[in-house]
Amino acid sequence: EDKVVQSPLSLVVHEGDTVTLNCSYEVTNFRSLLWYKQEKKAPTFLFMLTSSGIEKKSGRLSSILDKKELFSILNITATQTGDSAVYLCAVESLGGSQGNLIFGKGTKLSVKP
Amino acid sequence: DGGITQSPKYLFRKEGQNVTLSCEQNLNHDAMYWYRQDPGQGLRLIYYSQIVNDFQKGDIAEGYSVSREKKESFPLTVTSAQKNPTAFYLCASSHRGLNEQFFGPGTRLTVL
């Protein structure tokens, strides 16, 4: 059975800290891995990763994929209170009857001032 | 502005009633999806549609029904057969064959 596991499930840090969120997966016919940020309602897209070892970067956020070890990390440096959200990892698997994306349960990040 | 809209924002239902959640998009996306989100459970796929007049069951389709008569619209009906319908429902869309899904603001359904 395809699955995506995120860790930790929740995390509390102080402003300025650096955090690393983890996402491991077991899927057949892997195509890509996506990160989303969900603050209150609609998840918003952060990154899509398809190749191992190539870092994607946007401001203080960065992410990398390891297709050999089947995981990805999302790094946030110099955290701010506005980074508080649930971060969702999703993996796209080709074929099957479950649609396109398999989501993890998310990591809830709380950044304290 | 292009985007996805869901209505209503909040919905209350009595046990035994069917309710329909609306999802509309003007992004010209072929594919549309319905997810359910419960606390600590992440997003679970209910139904998806890759093209008009066609849709497929996801992981948790029991107690739900959908239709896709128009490209822009993908309404979800929560039937009385759904045992535990209280949840946050998210609709998404994407270009067919592409994996980046855009999400609507969600509908929070509470069964009284």
CA distance linking residue B59 with residue B48, whole number of Å: 10
- List CB contacts (< 8 A) between B58 and chain A: 98-99
**Peptide bond before residue A8 is cis, with ω within 30 degrees of 0:** yes
Average pLDDT rounded to a whole number, residues A67-79:
96
- How many Cβ atoms from other residues are within 10 Å of residue B26's Cβ? 13
Q: Write out the two tokens for A96.
A: 């099957």
Minimal CA separation from B44 to chain A, in Å: 7
| Residue B104: half-sphere exposure toward Cβ, Cα within 13 Å | 31
With CB atoms and an 8 Å threshold, state whether B56 touches A97: yes
CB contact under 8 A, A45 and B57: no
Side chain identity at residue A22, one-letter code? N
> What whole-number distance in Å separates Cα of residue B5 and Cα of residue B107?
10
β-sheet with B19-25: strand ranges across: B4-7, B19-25, B76-78, B64-66
Confidence band of A95 (pLDDT split at 50, 70, 90): low
B24-51 per-position pLDDT tens digit: 999 999 999 999 999 878 899 999 999 9
Question: B49, B66, B99: best mutation site toward chain A, by most A Cβ within 10 Å?
Answer: B99
The tens digit of pLDDT for each residue in A25-71 reads 998 888 899 999 999 888 999 999 998 888 999 999 999 999 999 99
What's the burial of A108, exposed, middle or buried (CB within 10 Å: 0-12/13-18/19+)? middle
Looking at CA atoms only, how far is residue A86 from chain B in angstroms? 10
